[in-house]
A = this chain, B = another copy of it.
């Protein structure tokens, strides 16, 4: 096994992404890892700026996350939301009391002129998260879905309507004018290994890849860099969330081969689950090296093992170089 001494850029969305990022953070020292998180899911609730994917990552890395859901905080209570409901506010988005402190603090600091990156760094420091996590952009990008129930903001679709509408298109409003955050941009320049965490390729890594020039800067053919993706689709189903349903509705193949096609221009290696090993030839034919391995991450050991496998790929690549 070759030790990996380079810099890692991990791109992540929600729960699956946070699991692998946690694994990476257990192995890599802080200066070797930058975690870039989707903000296309961000939404304003009750006048507060909520960043669901940043929060999932924050709570996961801080050891505070709810182990049953993967999002939210362990031992949450919902007294504020109950009272907001009594006041007639729309409370379909489940915000816990402790979680609300994050949104209140973030909103306050943003209101005082801090960037989302600065706020994220501040929250991480306060919760003793030493690895660098950063929003994909400090500019607003909002994921919308065109569906048979109308145009829906991401949380409307995902939480309120439980992904039930049939989607015809996904758009990232604001993406064209948004710039990658400074940390993201630096990591794009410096990374020796890029990791696409097992997140929804349409809704989680999609917004990140929609930022100007990001796809180009991540493109294959950089002799000094390896790009490894982990398929969030196993046996034709998403480990969680609407990835498979949405891929089908939008004309993609809801398999790890479909994932490979979406990452074809930016991915050198696709880690697929061992139960999908028969898809390997189809992935090879797309110019991507498949690697079959256990990819379901239930325990912390699972997360660390998958992270170690990916870092070994990076180390082997460095060694060959």
Contacts and interface: CB of A to CB of B under 8 A. Distances in A.
A127 B48 contact: no
Interface stretch (A82-90, A138-146, A252-260): A82-90
A97 interface: yes
Contacts of A149: none
A76 to B, nearest CB: 9
A234 B17 CA distance: 65
Number of copies: 2
Interface stretch (A102-110, A216-224, A296-304): A102-110
A163 B7 CA distance: 55
B79 A97 contact: yes
Counting contact residues on chain A (CB < 8 A from B), the size range is: 20 to 34
Contacts of A79: 77, 79, 97-98, 101
Given A77-B79, A111-B47, A84 B97 contact: no
Interface string A144-158: 000000000000000
> Chain A at the B interface: mostly helix, strand, loop or mixed?
helix
Contact of A126 (B48, B87, B105): B87
A61 to B, nearest CB: 15
A123 interface: yes
A84 B111 contact: no
Contact of A104 (B84, B102, B111): B84
A319 interface: no
A247 interface: no
Interface in A57-114: 77, 79-84, 86-89, 97-98, 100-102, 104-105, 107-108, 111
Contact of A86 (B48, B84, B87, B126): B126
A72 to B, nearest CB: 13
A31 interface: no
Q: Which 5 A-B pairs have the closest CB atoms?
A: A83-B101, A47-B108, A79-B97, A87-B105, A80-B101
Given A47-B107, A83-B101, 7 more contacts: A47-B104, A77-B77, A79-B97, A80-B100, A82-B101, A83-B102, A88-B122
Interface of A: 46-48, 77, 79-84, 86-89, 97-98, 100-102, 104-105, 107-108, 111, 122-123, 126-127
